[in-house]
Amino acid sequence: MPSVLEPQFIGEDPWRVFRILSEFVDGFDTMSHIGPAVSIFGSARTPEDDTYYRKARKLAGMLAKKKFTVITGGGPGIMAAANQGAIEAGGTSVGLNITLPIEQFPNPYQDITLDFRYFFVRLVMFVKYSCAFVCFPGGFGTLHEFFNSMTLIQTGKARRFPVILIGRSFWDGLEEWIDKIMLHKSYRKISPEDMDLFVITDSLREAVDVICQANTPVNHTPNIQP
């Protein structure tokens, strides 16, 4: 490495490793005690009078009554709705907050709060300690969480767990593109069975049923494989 880079490397990168390590340690220490949990994702831009805000709040309450901890990204919008629903139903509400220059600020409906600087550390916490993912309509972050779950399950790096997309009017177009472009035509970038890795529904009851049916004792151990 050129000597001109050495002061920056010595001054920043090694200490950044310790910062990353501390986020993992704090996360593992806190999250290992929460029990079976469901992560709920969706847009921070969803207002309280939106249909999906009300649905996320209701779904979180339904899950809390089934003794699932509810995990979100800790911010506004769908995240606040889910944390609020869990709290109102007497459940445990977890917020994994991320430091961002815009949009993100912690919502007030959290029993357990963790703050992260690094997205990848936070994403590990979502996957490792959840027995299901539920994605409401959202932006690039929600799509990232969805496709990350697909990658981990498809490659065997995570145990197969329910991934449920709420809102057919939002998600059907994505499913159609995956089916017609990624799977078919001349591309064939995925296998037919990969289309079964997720469920799209408008029914909150169906979402809860899918999660409960998959919630065997094995799902209470960490998802990510060693």
Residue 49 CA: distances (Å) to CA of 7, 46, 81, 107 = 52, 8, 11, 16
pLDDT of residue 217: 44
Evaluate if residue 220 carries a pLDDT over 90.
Answer: no
pTM score, whole prediction: 0.90
For 166-183, b/e burial (b = at least 16 CB within 10 A) is bbeebbeeeeeebeeeeb
Select the more confidently predicted residue: 217 or 201: 201
Residue 103, Cβ density class (10 Å: 0-12 exposed, 13-18 middle, ≥19 buried): middle
- Going along the chain from its start, the domains and CATH numbers come out as 3-219 (3.40.50.450)
Evaluate if residue 207 carries a pLDDT over 70.
Answer: yes
pLDDT of residue 2: 47
Residue % of the chain over a pLDDT of 70: 89
Tell me what the mean pLDDT of segment 54-65 comes to: 98
pLDDT of residue 9: 54
| Mean pLDDT, all residues of the chain | 91
Write out the two tokens for 118: 């690094």
